[in-house]
Amino acid sequence: MSQDIISLPRAYAEALVAELTRASVMLGDLAWELGGDPDTLRRHMDSLQQVDHITQIQLAVADLLRDADDPDAAVSRITLEDMAVRLRDALGGSDQNALDTVTP
């Protein structure tokens, strides 16, 4: 088992989960509002897609905090392949079978 870098009280981890979720909702609402204008959508489609990707990362981190007792299992449920690969690498377990279980 790897050595812990930081240990968070459960209440603090849950508060962080709530903040990450709140920030994700705010970013999603902003992207929705900006995407509602056809001109803005045309000019900034790539940026708006990046905002969506950021919100997905934030929600995945929130899920990781919820399941901090079993990081390997938590990482296996991440649906963002690029993030899952980075986290598996950080945990020292990037094998092809694990990558096959990630939903793009």
Q: For residue range 56-104, list pLDDT tens digits in order.
A: 999 999 999 888 788 788 888 888 999 989 988 888 864 444 444 443 3
Domain count, the chain: 2
Report helix, strand and coil shares of the chain as percent, to nearest 5.
75, 0, 25
Q: For the beta carbon of residue 40, count every other beta carbon within 10 angstroms.
A: 14
Are both 54 and 89 inside the same structural domain? no
Q: Is 36 helix (H, G, I), strand (E, B) or coil?
A: coil
Q: Whole-model pTM?
A: 0.75
Are both 57 and 86 inside the same structural domain? no
Q: For the beta carbon of residue 51, count every other beta carbon within 10 angstroms.
A: 18
Tell me the residue range of the domain where 59 lies. 10-66
